[in-house]
Structure 1
Amino acid sequence: MNSWRNWQLQGKLGQGGFGEVLHWQNKTTGQEIATKHIKDVNSLGADQQVKLKDRWMMELKFTRAFRKLPNIVAGVCLGNDDASFVAYLNSAHKCRLPVIILEFCNGGDVRKQLQMHENANGLSEFEVREILGALRKALHFLHSECKVCHRDLKPDNIVIHRQKDGSKTYKLTDFGLARGAPDQTMLQSVVGTRHYFAPEVVETGVYNTTVDYWSMGIIAYELATGELPFIPHQTPRNILVNLLKKTSDCIAITEDPHDASRFLFQTELPREHHLTEPFARQFLLWLRLALDSDYKRRGQLESDKVHSGTVPNPFVFSYLDKLLQIRVLTIFAMNSFKFLAYAVTADMTMQELNGLICRDTKLASSEVYCVLPTNHPHERITPNTRPLDLYVHEWSDTSRETLKSTKIPPPPVMLFVFQASDKCVYSDPEPRVSKLMLTCNPSSFQTDSSWVLRRLALDMHYMLAMQQKQVDMFLMGIRERALLLEDEIVTNQFITAINDQILTTAEAYNMLLRLRTASVQEQNMSIQVTDSDWKLLADTYQETNNIARAIKDRFESCLRGARAIEKATSQLLNQYVDVFDLAAFDHDYLAGISLGQFRKAVNQFAMSPSQEVKRVMETAKEIDSLHLLFIKAIKAVAKAMQKFAEIKEQLFQLNFKMLSSAAAASAHVSAPPPMLLEHSMGRLKMNSMGDSSDFDSLTTNNVIDEANRLDKMLRADMEIDSI
């Protein structure tokens, strides 16, 4: 079975105990489909074959009913042009049952996603949210609209379809074990995959749709941590016995590494996951509900809806809805090397957010300096900014896959926080050492338990991955601060504005100096300006010029430094892609590690800050120094503006005095010197805001008024927002 006319077999998508799923493409239309086939029934008895046929026809019925549902794989009905292809498929099918034709999902399944090395400790929070949201919608439709219990929920049965824009849609499939579950009816049979079915399925064989809630909880735990929650390495009997012992707040059972006969009932999530703290805290509460061994508590309905007479919603769904609506603002605190996350709401204030940051970083409120990543939609933090404005939903997707496939990958966090102080202190990053790693590191501890060694490898993978993530965030934070500093200098045109003032003042000063020289040489002009006037002007001019040039030099130094650091951090980000040799560790040890290998790896892969990390921290101190220089330059601008105002005032006053004396002298000479003076002053451009034609009138009030007006315009043009 390779092709039929325009239909070409592309490969096998999956295979189970009795069936397989194939991928086909129509070479003419480009249409892609998946076909589900029974592969082997010879090993089944007659009764089992009858049950298989019944389930097959039920699944065929379901898939045809699920058309156009976004989170359930739908059946496909090919047109008359493909009738011969359908007949070809059915003619070669066993048991004389019709082949099930389904929509093709091009992204594999969630099981394959979990098996990727980068997902060894669970998926990113964004992916966990997306999958649970899709699963919740699919189950709600099955339970409420179709009155169907799926009975075989597992990551293998959640497939992925990639859209053209790169986004993913998760869809529930495989309804071979689905069965009608009308209200008040309890199903009786042991079905499903061992690690995913609820305790009551094995204990009594009597259950209802709440078994799907349990399976959903198992999947959720596995998505978040990368592992099954209830001692999956143990025998089915041990698993069931311990499940029946567990309390309602227990979400996982682990074996004691010191005593294989002792089991530990866990009421908290392990630390090794990629969830943010606000989400993880509520996720834990939801898990306790979904993984309650008592199916009655697990399936409880919202009481308010029961009393109001409306259709009750299972609490496990309504609580999940609230969980998925939590908006988490992610932050990296540079000085403490900490990843922070806070749930933000519409009524939360920046003062409240600032208080949380101070609490978790030990910074004073005045020291909290925030930097938004490049291309943040909010652009700038203002007095009217709310924490919710800083949240960017699209940037929640920090999965490795998205970072690799996106042209402009999202930043690792939505906000960077620095210590705004001339005495910045940086903490060394702390390795995420697990309890099991601490237990196994001493040479006195010995074990050959496969689950302990497997868990050791996963814990060390997590530690190295988190250290790499911290270095990435730290470097990106430095680069973002350098980019912000460059943007502040260039956008506000500090250098250009200072330079314009220097040139304008110099031109005005030199013009008046030439006029004074001309007045001395042309004594008949009688322009009376004393030497003390000129000395005062010259001293003020020199002082102003020196201050302005020093400020300009500071801004230019900051600009050069910012650009150099931006270039350097970009190079380091490329150079430090795997600074802790995570890829080498995964290649050698992720599949399994011995205690000796683990203890050797602890030293090899450096749990303490490496030289590379220390180098990165030195780069951070460089941007601190530049930013401090920038702030000092801005503060000095006010002094420079005052000096510019003084020099302009003196220039205006001397200009007025020279014009006035020239006017008095013009009555006694044949040529009109004032007109010559006005012609010379007409070449003076004051910051492109007018020329000396404003002084053509020799009336004292007019001259002073015009001088003051230009002074105010110059001041306004040079106004600088403080930081």
Structure 2
Amino acid sequence: MSFLRGSENYVWCTTSVLGKGATGAVFQGVNKNNGEPVAVKTFNQLSHMRPHDVQMREFEVLKKVKHENIVKLLAIEEEQEGRGKVIVMELCTGGSLFNILDDPENTYGLQEHEFFLVVEHLTAGMKHLRDNNLVHRDLKPGNIMKFINEDGTTTYKLTDFGAARELQEEEQFVSLYGTEEYLHPDMYERAVLRKPVGKSFGATVDLWSIGVTLYHVATGQLPFRPYGGRRNKETMFYITTKKASGVISGTQTTENGPIEWARELPSHCQLSIGLRKIVTPLLAGLLEVDPHRIWTFERFFSEVQTVTSTTQVHIFHVNKAASIKVIFYFGNKVLREIGVNFSNFNQVRVE
């Protein structure tokens, strides 16, 4: 049995698996003409059983988006032997953010500079989607890829648009997609608990998934953790829907035990104390279930601008023989100069 499969211009090996999902798999392949390494997404029988317009949706979304923080589409081709269409994309050699978080060195979350990159790049990719009236519906670390540029720098890119669709901000949808731990509670209630709730969902469900993802990236852990994980689905729903506004995590450490709520990031988090004080309100806003308090995308983009436009000054405190970090930010303006009047700044955070 041959493990090689191909299309007109590409060939891939089914033993070189980059990722698998419910409707297909992604393999590493090469361009037959120039040997360029690529990623090839193929689709299984379950995918082909979906309505034709749903099958075509991912192709149409990928044709519509073009941004440095979204995995680049190279081609859509017909696989040989009539197996259907395949999607050929640029290869992100750094792997998925999920695999990166799985590394022992990232047990307690990413280092501060890397966290900044994820926030900035994820937000830029999401802004491009919203500018094109698209909703992703399956945001999670497994769908954020690390691309290593020729100069050695890193770019994080959104991928897997199998659940994506066009949706205006005020529009609603009723179909269910996503991954349990990252699902908005309203979707979790229908998709996981199977309750016949007469609710529709808006584009802002992506914001909840971003909140869970960023908490995971900052701490190495999921924010809402019932004892026993996925098998304790009712408790998971209880944690996400009963938490007070401003609470960013809820953990149950014993069977049927109490929930430990937290409004701050855990002490083991790799972010500096100053940055945590700026990031925590961002997480609290994203992980909001009160319909009257739910953020808009405009609010999210504005708040991220504040987080990513901070200026950090490293100071050595001679009397204490200690290195401290001072974080400055002024509204939503980017501050890149140190030679300014400090009294003009809104807030100063010190580590």
The TM-score range, normalised by the shorter chain, is 0.7 to 0.9
Structure 1 CA distance for aligned equivalents of residues 253 and 5 of structure 2: 55
Aligned partner of 1:226: which letter?
Answer: G
Quick check: 1:134 aligned with 2:121?
A: yes
SS in 2 for 1:293: coil
Residue 249 of structure 1: how far off its partner (Å): 0.6
**Does the CA contact (< 8 Å) of 2:65 and 2:128 recur in 1?**
no
Quick check: 1:288 aligned with 2:275?
A: no
Residue 348 of structure 1: how far off its partner (Å): 5.5
Q: Equivalent residue for 1:101?
A: 88
Q: 1:16 aligns with which of 18, 21, 26?
A: 21
Aligned partner of 1:91: which letter?
Answer: E
Aligned partner of 2:222: which letter?
Answer: L
Quick check: 1:166 aligned with 2:152?
A: yes
Q: Equivalent residue for 1:231?
A: 225
Size of the aligned set, in residue pairs, is: 324
Structure 1 CA distance for aligned equivalents of residues 119 and 266 of structure 2: 19
Q: Equivalent residue for 2:97?
A: 110
Structure 1 CA distance for aligned equivalents of residues 245 and 129 of structure 2: 26
Quick check: 1:191 aligned with 2:177?
A: yes
Structure 1 CA distance for aligned equivalents of residues 17 and 45 of structure 2: 16
Quick check: 1:71 aligned with 2:31?
A: no
Bigger RCO (CA 8 Å, 6+ sep): 2
Q: Percent identity?
A: 28
Structure 1 CA distance for aligned equivalents of residues 321 and 45 of structure 2: 57
Correspondence list, 1:501-540, <5 A: none
Structure 2 CA distance for aligned equivalents of residues 339 and 190 of structure 1: 50
Residue 299 of structure 1: how far off its partner (Å): 2.5
Q: Go from structure 1 to structure 2 and tell me whether the alpha carbon gap of 1:103 and 1:55 turns closer, same or farther (over 3 Å shift).
A: farther
SS in 2 for 1:264: strand
Residue 27 of structure 1: how far off its partner (Å): 5.8
Structure 1 CA distance for aligned equivalents of residues 316 and 5 of structure 2: 54
Aligned partner of 2:70: which letter?
Answer: I
Structure 2 CA distance for aligned equivalents of residues 180 and 99 of structure 1: 21
Structure 2 CA distance for aligned equivalents of residues 208 and 288 of structure 1: 19
**Does the CA contact (< 8 Å) of 2:75 and 2:87 recur in 1?**
no
Aligned partner of 1:228: which letter?
Answer: L
Aligned partner of 1:133: which letter?
Answer: E
Q: Equivalent residue for 1:31?
A: 36
Tell me the TM-score normalised to structure 1 length. Answer: 0.42
SS in 2 for 1:275: coil
**Does the CA contact (< 8 Å) of 1:8 and 1:24 recur in 2?**
yes
Q: Equivalent residue for 1:370?
A: none
Q: Equivalent residue for 2:241?
A: 244
Aligned partner of 1:29: which letter?
Answer: N
**Does the CA contact (< 8 Å) of 1:23 and 1:35 recur in 2?**
yes
Q: Go from structure 1 to structure 2 and tell me whether the alpha carbon gap of 1:238 and 1:71 turns closer, same or farther (over 3 Å shift).
A: same
Aligned partner of 2:304: which letter?
Answer: L
Larger helix proportion of the pair: 1
**Does the CA contact (< 8 Å) of 2:12 and 2:40 recur in 1?**
no
Structure 1 CA distance for aligned equivalents of residues 289 and 339 of structure 2: 38
Q: Go from structure 1 to structure 2 and tell me whether the alpha carbon gap of 1:206 and 1:342 turns closer, same or farther (over 3 Å shift).
A: same
Q: Go from structure 1 to structure 2 and tell me whether the alpha carbon gap of 1:169 and 1:127 turns closer, same or farther (over 3 Å shift).
A: same
Quick check: 1:329 aligned with 2:316?
A: no
Structure 2 CA distance for aligned equivalents of residues 17 and 331 of structure 1: 51
Structure 1 CA distance for aligned equivalents of residues 204 and 170 of structure 2: 12
Quick check: 1:202 aligned with 2:188?
A: yes
Residue 182 of structure 1: how far off its partner (Å): 2.1
Correspondence list, 1:433-472, <5 A: none
Q: Equivalent residue for 2:331?
A: none
Q: Go from structure 1 to structure 2 and tell me whether the alpha carbon gap of 1:180 and 1:7 turns closer, same or farther (over 3 Å shift).
A: closer
Aligned partner of 2:294: which letter?
Answer: R
SS in 1 for 2:75: coil
Q: 2:258 aligns with which of 257, 262, 272?
A: 262
Q: Go from structure 1 to structure 2 and tell me whether the alpha carbon gap of 1:267 and 1:6 turns closer, same or farther (over 3 Å shift).
A: closer
Residue 266 of structure 1: how far off its partner (Å): 0.9
Residue 26 of structure 1: how far off its partner (Å): 2.9
**Does the CA contact (< 8 Å) of 1:25 and 1:31 recur in 2?**
yes
SS in 2 for 1:184: coil
Residue 333 of structure 1: how far off its partner (Å): 5.7
Residue 336 of structure 1: how far off its partner (Å): 5.3
**Does the CA contact (< 8 Å) of 1:90 and 1:99 recur in 2?**
no
Residue 184 of structure 1: how far off its partner (Å): 2.4
SS in 1 for 2:293: helix
Q: Go from structure 1 to structure 2 and tell me whether the alpha carbon gap of 1:216 and 1:337 turns closer, same or farther (over 3 Å shift).
A: farther
1:110-160 superposed Cα distances (whole Å, 9 cap, x missing partner): 011101111010001111111111111111121232x12111000000011
Aligned partner of 1:138: which letter?
Answer: G
Aligned partner of 2:86: which letter?
Answer: V
Larger strand proportion of the pair: 2
Q: 1:178 aligns with which of 164, 168, 172?
A: 164
Q: Go from structure 1 to structure 2 and tell me whether the alpha carbon gap of 1:16 and 1:256 turns closer, same or farther (over 3 Å shift).
A: closer
SS in 2 for 1:118: helix
Structure 2 CA distance for aligned equivalents of residues 173 and 334 of structure 1: 48
Residue 298 of structure 1: how far off its partner (Å): 2.1
**Does the CA contact (< 8 Å) of 1:110 and 1:159 recur in 2?**
yes
Quick check: 1:91 aligned with 2:91?
A: no
1:382-409 superposed Cα distances (whole Å, 9 cap, x missing partner): xxxxxxxxxxxxxxxxxxxxxxxxxxxx
